[in-house]
Amino acid sequence: MKQKVIPQNALLKLGDKEVELPVVIGTEGEESIDINKLRDLTGYITLDSGYKNTGATKSAITFLDGELGILRYRGYPIEQLAEKSNFMEVAYLLFYGELPTADEYSDFVEKTTKHTLVHEDVKKFFEGFPSNAHPMGQLCSLMCTLSSFYPDSLNPNAGKEEIDLTMIRILAKMPTLVSWIHKKSIGHQVMYPLNKYDYVTNFLYMTFGMRSEDYIADPVIVDALDKLLILHADHEQNCSTSTVRMVGSSQANPYASVAAGVAALWGPLHGGANQQVIEMLEKIKSDGGNVAKWVEKAKDKNDPFRLMGFGHRVYKNFDPRAKIIKQACDNVLSKLGIHDPILDIAKQLEEAALKDEYFVERKLYPNVDFYSGIIYRAIGFPTEMFTVLFALGRLPGWLSQWKEMRESNEPIGRPRQIYVGATERDYMNIAIR
Ligand code: CMC
Whether the CB of 294 sits within 6 Å of ligand 1: no
Per-residue model confidence (pLDDT) at position 215: 80
Domain boundary among the residues 348, 363, 379 is at 379
Domain span including residue 22:
9-55
Q: For residue 266, report the distance from its CA to the centre of ligand 1, in Å.
A: 16
The residue nearest atom 26 of ligand 1, judged by CA position, is: 313
d(CA 263, CA 269): 12
- Ligand 1 within 6 A of 312 CB? yes
Total structural domains in the chain?
Answer: 2
Q: Is 312 a catalytic residue?
A: yes
CA distance 165 to 96: 13
**Chain centroid offset of residue 254 CA:** 16
Q: Are 66 and 317 in contact (CB under 8 A)?
A: yes
Q: Is 117 in the pocket of ligand 1 (CB under 6 A)?
A: no
CATH number of the CATH domain containing 14: 2.20.28
- Cα angle: 360, vertex 348, 332; to 5 degrees: 115
pLDDT of residue 1: 64
Ligand 1 centre from 345 Cα, in Å? 20
Task: Count the helix, strand and coil residues of the chain and give each as a percent rounded to the nearest 5.
Answer: 55, 5, 40
Residue 330 belongs to a domain? yes
Residue 279 resides in a domain: yes
Closest CA to 179 of 232, 116, 221, 222: 116
Q: Tell me how far apart the alpha carbons of residues 166 and 386 are, in angstroms, rounded to a whole number.
A: 26
Q: What is the pLDDT of residue 374?
A: 92
Residue whose CB lies within 8 A of the most ligand 1 atoms, among 67, 275, 276, 306, for a mutation test = 306
Q: SS3 sequence, 167-201?
A: HHHHHHHHHHHHHHHHHHHCCCCCCCCCCCCCHHH
Active-site position among 226, 234, 356, 369: 369
> What are the 10-residue block averages of pLDDT along the chain, 433 residues in total?
84 95 96 97 96 96 95 98 98 98 98 96 92 95 95 88 96 98 93 94 94 81 96 97 98 97 96 93 95 96 95 91 91 91 92 95 93 92 96 98 96 97 95 85
In this structure, which long-range contacts are made by residues 280-288, counting pairs with CB atoms below 8 Å and at least 24 apart in sequence? 280/307, 280/308, 280/309, 281/342, 281/345, 281/346, 281/349, 282/342, 284/345, 284/349, 285/341, 285/342, 285/345
Residue 315 lies in a domain: yes
**Nearest CA residue ID for atom 50, ligand 1:** 270
Active site residue 188: no
Q: Which of 295, 362, 372, 394 to mutate to test the pocket of ligand 1 (most atoms within 8 A of CB)?
A: 362
Residue 32 placed within a domain: yes
Q: Is residue 372 part of a domain?
A: yes
State if residue 367 touches ligand 1 by the CB under 6 angstroms criterion. yes
Which one of 182, 270, 312, 319 is the catalytic residue? Answer: 312
Compute the distance between CA of residue 392 and CA of residue 378 in angstroms, rounded to an integer: 18
Residue closest via CA to ligand 1's atom 14 equals 362
Measured CA distances, 251 to 183, 226, 245 (Å): 34, 32, 10
Q: Are strands 31-33 and 62-65 parallel, antiparallel or unpaired?
A: unpaired
141: closest CA among 266, 256, 273?
A: 256
Instruction: Give the span between the Cα atoms of 74 and 174, in whole angstroms.
Output: 23
Q: Residue 211: its pLDDT value, please?
A: 73
* Cα 248 to ligand 1 centre (Å): 28
pTM of the model: 0.94
Residue 110 lies in a domain: no
Q: What is the pLDDT of residue 154?
A: 87
Among 379, 404, 419, give the residue marking a domain's end.
379
Q: Report the CATH number at residue 329.
A: 1.10.230.10
Q: Atom 45 of ligand 1 has which residue's CA nearest to it?
A: 269
Going by the DSSP 8-state scheme, the letter that residue 383 receives in this structure is: G
Single-letter amino acid code for the residue at 110: E
Contact of 213 with 202, CB cutoff 8 Å: no
Ligand 1 lined by 368 (C-beta under 6 Å): yes
* Within a domain: 288: yes
Residue 386, domain member (yes or no)? no
